A and B are shown apart, each in its own frame.
Chain A
């Protein structure tokens, strides 16, 4: 083994191992929460209030992440059917049905038994269905709910009234509820130190994503991007392990950039980057590998994605500010991708296409998810006009495999990439 590949393997292994260890530890902690006397708080990824939860030594359970893992482990279809048998419509978000179906089956999740919540922390950011989801869970678990209503950024600006509203809710509802279930007083210095740690991790996360501006891109900003956001989007933001993970990931990417290596794919390093694309929408989880394969087999890499910004738009400059702990948490909630208006989202895509030197863009419309999908076609038309590039539109679902058709998506993507190739050729000729 050459020195270089030895280093490469070590660096790659390091970040992956850290993440695996973190996740295993988290799942164990969830499993042990009851006997360990740790309060369990269910919450959502967009606008998550992890530092608050951790500052009270509570354990976060994220039903979206349970659903996602259930999809990847092929458990979601069964859960969804169970929920549909109990009267839930075929037409509503499958994350919700997956979660409800899991509950109906005894809450045996993708990583074991999940304890009931002591608190449902409804961080209501960027998706209306969250509200309906926790209304349903409240009935099932009969436990308290704290609704933290994040106003929608319809004009692309955060107003002082929005921030005040959120801070007001932290003070009047969230902090007292966490104090009650944990038996601990709110410690603002503890929160500050967690936020300090968050900030460090955020710096390195942004480096990881922005590395895709290089040609060739050292990472796939969507398929691998979902791994990169794992720790910071879930239960770890603010912990030293999280910072350590992003340090390691950064080192690994720096190595790839220095050696002009393309992104890792399930089939190994992509040798020749043929297409650079930007994508809007979530991944499909039930057939994640196949979905990825459609693209990497064609030499297509996603240099930027919006899904990896649903837990925070760090690349447009936001960092948690330990000097203003409540305000910064409010601004964080307000600024996640899906809490932004369609014109802002469109502009973000346009910037990605330009700054990451993309050849095209893809919209992955999800039957379940109106938060992402309702309006995508308008964004697509607008982007085609603004960039002069063709866009690709594909459809499936998050965790309901009935709506994933490999052949359809493959056909559509192949024809799309042919068109992109042709356009690239034309541009070259000019």
Chain B
């Protein structure tokens, strides 16, 4: 299928706030559905239990907030209110479990709000280990994953055996390999992989069963490689800070229209969480945990230890031959905003250009951002010509 067609199908899934595809899956299989909030949960365990994992990354710009605002003060980001709105309006009534990863206090407390509002939907907090010793943090993380498996089993899912978990790891390794390949190809030929397209393909992968997602990603990868769009005189940028609440699709389009090729980003971190495949020999839980401890890409939600995250950003800029960085953090997002000055300091030291703005998932006006990033890309072009 043509890349554009695949992206259109994915866009439909992404914009479908009724989650029709998930409902159909549930009706067809009678299986359990596990929703998860950004950023990371061990989807392999959910899959091994025979349940479907569904990424809930907010309500986007098409959702009208009717009840959700009454639960959150104005100085809290938008993501929890739209997530709650989805729940309160019955759009998530197919959920059996909601997982909240340890990303920030808003997500953490959202799991509590959820417990109060929807006592019939089980919740579980996925405490990502901040101790990176396999015998300490690793052991704890294995216990968290096993609790998740037990919870699913208590809901009628099949027990997670080593064999089943390994099979799921293989599928998710393939999923991440395909996403990495797409990111690599986008960096190589950004004119052939518009980020607004790639983004919806990734959003669809949060909803589709992994087997289907692998087919979609593989199809899209093959299709974009067949393209030969004309390269534009755009500047290559890395977009940083939008790992939880997501920018509206039109914002991504705006960045691209303002003369930027996005060659790296952290929009859907879970899709490329690991730097390498998870091992498929030995104990499968240990393998997931070991990968988490030693091969996670830096994230605002993980303690950075002795290696500042800014070093990773600089490396990404170099690897992707980027010319600048756009810091696009959701308003009121503590994890993103607290990282920002330190990233900026590192870039200042190296003379790397950047610009910064904040957004909300339902931002509707892009003119100012377009002017800002347009000026930013023009100035980079000017300097590189000089």
Contacts and interface: CB of A to CB of B under 8 A. Distances in A.
Interface string A255-290: 000000000000000000000000000000000000
Nearest to B106: A374
B17 interface: no
B386 interface: no
Interface string A153-192: 0110001011011001100110000000000000000000
A91 interface: yes
Given A131-B130, A152-B125, A375 B112 contact: yes
B35 interface: no
A168 B138 CA distance: 11
A370 B105 contact: yes
A87 B113 contact: no
Interface stretch (B316-324, B339-347, B373-381): B339-347
Contact of A91 (B110, B140, B308, B332): B332
A159 B341 CA distance: 38
B105 A128 contact: yes
Contacts of B139: 164-165, 168
The SS class assigned to the B binding surface is helix
A91 to B, nearest CB: 5
A371 interface: yes
B334 A341 contact: no
Interface stretch (B72-80, B162-170, B245-253, B266-274): B72-80
A361 B344 CA distance: 43
Contacts of A48: none
B338 A92 contact: yes
Contact of A342 (B112, B131, B334): B112
A337 to B, nearest CB: 13
A354 interface: no
A87 B80 contact: no
A172 B113 contact: no
Contact of B75 (A91, A343, A379): A91
A147 interface: yes
Interface string B91-132: 000000000101111101111110111000001110101110
A254 interface: no
Contact of A128 (B102, B129, B339): B102
Contacts of A108: none
Given A132-B334, A149-B131, A379-B116, A342 B109 contact: yes
A74 interface: no
Contacts of B125: 152, 154
A193 interface: no
A211 interface: no
A180 to B, nearest CB: 15
B337 interface: yes
Given A165-B136, A377-B70, A135 B105 contact: no
Contacts of A93: 334, 338
A184 B110 CA distance: 44
Interface of A: 86-89, 91-93, 96, 122, 124, 127-129, 131-133, 135-136, 139, 145, 147, 149, 151-152, 154-155, 159, 161-162, 164-165, 168-169, 172-173, 341-343, 345-346, 365, 367, 370-371, 373-379, 382, 395
7 contacts: A149-B129, A152-B125, A154-B124, A165-B136, A172-B131, A367-B75, A377-B71
The 10 residue pairs across chains A and B that have the minimum distance between CB atoms: A342-B112, A154-B125, A375-B109, A161-B143, A149-B130, A165-B140, A370-B105, A87-B341, A132-B338, A168-B136
